[in-house]
A and B are shown apart, each in its own frame.
Chain A
Amino acid sequence: NAGVTQTPKFRVLKTGQSMTLLCAQDMNHEYMYWYRQDPGMGLRLIHYSVGEGTTAKGEVPDGYNVSRLKKQNFLLGLESAAPSQTSVYFCASSYVGRDTQYFGPGTRLTVL
């Protein structure tokens, strides 16, 4: 089992460019999450999904969109990147809510 994987590992964007981050899990988990991690601010939830075809907003959703077309994949999109979106992005998944979340290795994004 690969667990939770994220693509890409690193990316540098210019302001206004768009990109999609891919998260994939092979554990048949229902719940998937996207977080951003900034120094001194812990992990903040961007969007989450409680099953295929469902998505919901988290704590800091502005500027991001998500899709969960397949159970094993959760995509995070930035339509028009801003320097404030420079961060490390983590995807996570869990079998049910209020259960162990398994994190991916992270994507380090820099927006110039």
Chain B
Amino acid sequence: GENVEQHPSTLSVQEGDSAVIKCTYSDSASNYFPWYKQELGKRPQLIIDIRSNVGEKKDQRIAVTLNKTAKHFSLHITETQPEDSAVYFCAASLSNDYKLSFGAGTTVTVRA
């Protein structure tokens, strides 16, 4: 199955600064890459996703980039705010599969 590695495991940023989380995947056949945010004690929720036919996708302060050649994708959060503090999970799915393989998660702390 797919193997997804996520870095860093923890990230502390000053409010207003940017945060970047990077994930790598092993199977070049993967073509769907979602990102989930999980606030403390809550359920994971999708914040953005990208498919392999595009290289970048933006939604307000959040963007995801995909490099298929290098088999990595990244989450970018600009102008971070305290409510961005959470655990972020990347995931990948093969084109012929229904399952998601998740990274281990990144705990983001935004310092006021």
| A interface residue numbers (CB < 8 A to B) | 31, 33, 40-45, 48, 50, 58-59, 90, 97-98, 100-101, 103-106
Contact = CB atoms under 8 A, between A and B. Distances in A.
B93 A41 contact: no
Given A100-B34, A105-B43, A43 B93 contact: no
A41 B102 CA distance: 9
A103 B43 contact: yes
Contact of A42 (B46, B49, B89): B89
B102 A43 contact: yes
Tell me which of A31, A43, A59, A90 has the highest count of chain B C-beta atoms within 10 A of its own C-beta.
A43
A103 B39 CA distance: 13
Contacts of A44: 102
Interface residues of B, number: 24
Given A48-B98, A50-B98, A40 B104 contact: yes
**The 4 residue pairs across chains A and B that have the minimum distance between CB atoms:** A97-B98, A103-B43, A98-B32, A42-B102
The DSSP consensus for interface residues of chain B is loop
B9 interface: yes
B45 interface: yes
B102 A98 contact: no
B99 interface: yes
Contacts of A45: 99-101
Contacts of B103: 42
Contact of B98 (A41, A90, A98, A103): A98
15 contacts: A40-B9, A42-B105, A43-B89, A44-B102, A50-B98, A90-B44, A97-B98, A98-B93, A98-B97, A100-B46, A100-B49, A101-B34, A101-B100, A103-B44, A103-B45
A97 B44 contact: no
Interface in B34-57: 34, 42-46, 49
B41 to A, nearest CB: 9
Contacts of B44: 43, 90, 103
A103 B42 CA distance: 10
B43 A104 contact: yes
